[in-house]
């Protein structure tokens, strides 16, 4: 096995090989640490590595597999990268901000503790925009993170470093969080798999565990690996009142979608969508038809008013949280974080109430629609990606028309509004620039199993991703 093939070994495959003795966690770690070092100058996806500690744990896992230990964890020996917002006790967590450059966490976030308890090896921390408040991935703290398929473009955000680390073979699994698309945006732009669980499925920490737009979740290169990680992350937590009981254990259901009815929309009825995104989404639609599903284009009574309601929600809670830094620390903020915080100052509780009314209205249509369909399909992004150094003050055109540069080029945010709907983000192809495009598989409320069942069927039909050198990005190392 070449070093590249080794680094791209998936979690499920690696676990099988660990048990059979064909592969060691030490070998996998060495391959990925080598790629992290080689990619630092070109991709800038990893901000910290924990090589010595990770190697010690890898050797311990190697010995446990050799001894056929009876208590191996579900992720025993699997390399996992943490987004630079997940607190890990004794380690610096900067949240992508120079204000927290030396901040050492005293406790583990729930998702971190669950990964460690499952035997995962945290070998790296991935870059994120400041306070995870942007759909791209650059900050004053970490600089610009670049897309491995085309370095001129962003890998998306806010879990951008995680998306790059997966696409470039720097890790096996990675954490993400999604308050406006922050798992699904980089999943699309990097060509990987990401899951936005229903609100409460994966525990979080205050105050954002109480924001129903907030969804911690897994990122991987395959549907099976994403499911494996989700089963570790999910379940009630004693410190998160919003976490759902009982724990949902997903199965690798490969029965397919024969006889299913699938609804789809290319543009939600009002958005401008890039031609490459449209073409690749229609190809995905054809894949599901070939699998025996009836796929029907539907109309949605949505408009830019729905988008503005989502932006109001973000400003009211997330923006207000950032506004505490609009004091003598303001000069240390990135322009996009400062602008986002200032916007919150003009939002009223009445504005927020109106945004909730819009949320209720769109589900009043979408909920009954989903009684008729097993699944809803749409693009993840309206364009493959924006430029790597894109700012939310920059003008943005799609099909020659000006678009709101905040989230107007993304199509993930409606499903933060429809927060109890699970969403699996999958690759749909590549644009002319080489940047991947993606689709979202949206399920009925809390029906996580259905989106994974459809994801398995789609992945099997298209042959998966990253399995061979020709399906991976061409990297300068």
Active site residues: 83, 158, 182
Task: List all residues 6 or more positions away from 262 whose beta carbon is below 8 Å from its beta carbon.
Answer: 288, 293, 294, 295, 296, 373, 374, 375, 376, 377, 454
Q: Cβ distance 115 to 369 under 8 Å?
A: no
**Residue 296 CB neighbour total at 10 angstroms:** 12
Task: List all residues 6 or more positions away from 374 whose beta carbon is below 8 Å from its beta carbon.
Answer: 257, 260, 261, 262, 293, 444, 450, 454
Q: Cβ distance 262 to 376 under 8 Å?
A: yes
Distance from C-alpha of 333 to C-alpha of 177, rounded to nearest angstrom = 21
CB neighbour burial string for 362-384, b if at least 16 within 10 angstroms, e if fewer? bbeebeeebeebbbbbbbbbbbb
- Residue pointed to by tokens 């085309």: 150
Q: List the alpha helices (DSSP H) in 127-274.
A: 160-167, 184-190, 223-233
**Residue 253 CB neighbour total at 10 angstroms:** 15
Geometric angle at alpha carbon 328, from 322 and 330, rounded to 5°: 45
Closest to 121 (Cα-Cα) out of 67, 166, 55: 55
Distance from C-alpha of 467 to C-alpha of 170, rounded to nearest angstrom = 15
Distance from C-alpha of 35 to C-alpha of 3, rounded to nearest angstrom = 9
Q: Cβ distance 454 to 441 under 8 Å?
A: yes
Q: 79 forms bridges with which residues in the sheet?
A: 121
Q: 82 forms bridges with which residues in the sheet?
A: 125
């Amino acid at each position: 096995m070449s070093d590249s093939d080794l680094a791209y070994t998936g979690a499920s495959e690696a676990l099988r090989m660990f048990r059979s003795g064909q592969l060691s966690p030490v070998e996998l770690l060495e391959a990925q640490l080598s790629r992290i070092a080689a990619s630092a100058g070109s991709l800038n996806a990893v901000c910290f590595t924990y090589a010595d500690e990770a190697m010690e744990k890898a050797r311990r896992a190697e010995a446990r597999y050799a001894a056929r230990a009876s208590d191996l964890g579900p992720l025993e020996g699997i390399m996992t990268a943490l987004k630079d917002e997940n607190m890990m006790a004794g380690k610096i967590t900067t949240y992508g901000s120079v204000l927290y450059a030396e901040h050492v966490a005293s406790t583990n976030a729930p998702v971190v503790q669950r990964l460690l308890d499952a035997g995962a090896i945290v070998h790296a921390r991935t870059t994120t925009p400041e306070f995870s408040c942007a759909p791209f991935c650059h900050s004053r703290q970490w600089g610009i993170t670049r897309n491995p398929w085309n370095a001129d473009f962003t890998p998306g955000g806010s879990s951008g470093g995680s998306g790059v680390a997966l696409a470039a073979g720097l890790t096996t699994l990675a954490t993400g969080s999604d308050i406006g698309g922050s798992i699904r945006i980089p999943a699309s732009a990097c060509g990987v798999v990401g899951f936005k669980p229903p609100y409460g499925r994966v525990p979080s920490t205050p105050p954002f565990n109480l924001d129903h737009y907030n969804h911690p979740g897994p990122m991987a290169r395959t549907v099976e690996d994403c499911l494996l990680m989700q089963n570790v992350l999910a379940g009630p937590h004693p410190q998160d009142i919003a976490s759902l009981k009982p724990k949902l254990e997903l199965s690798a259901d490969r029965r397919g979608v024969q006889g299913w009815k699938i609804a789809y929309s290319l543009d939600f009825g009002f958005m401008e969508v890039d031609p490459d995104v449209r073409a690749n989404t229609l190809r995905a639609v054809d894949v599901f038809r070939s699998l025996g599903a009836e796929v029907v284009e539907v109309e949605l009574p949505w408009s830019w008013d729905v988008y503005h309601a989502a932006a109001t929600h973000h400003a009211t809670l997330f923006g207000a949280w950032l506004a505490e830094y609009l004091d003598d620390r303001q000069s240390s903020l990135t322009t996009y974080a400062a602008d986002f915080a200032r916007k919150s100052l003009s939002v009223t509780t009445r504005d927020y109430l109106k945004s909730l009314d819009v949320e209720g209205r769109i589900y009043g249509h979408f909920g009954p629609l989903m009684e008729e369909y097993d699944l809803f399909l749409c693009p993840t992004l309206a364009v493959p990606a924006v430029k790597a150094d894109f700012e939310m003050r920059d003008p943005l055109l799609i099909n020659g028309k000006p678009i709101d540069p905040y989230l107007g080029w993304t199509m993930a945010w409606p499903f933060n509004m429809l927060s109890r709907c699970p969403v699996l983000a999958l690759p749909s192809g590549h644009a002319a620039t080489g940047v991947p495009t993606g689709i979202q598989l949206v399920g009925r409320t809390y029906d996580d199993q259905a989106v994974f069942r459809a994801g398995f069927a789609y992945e099997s039909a298209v042959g998966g991703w990253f399995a061979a050198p020709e399906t991976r990005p061409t990297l300068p190392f």
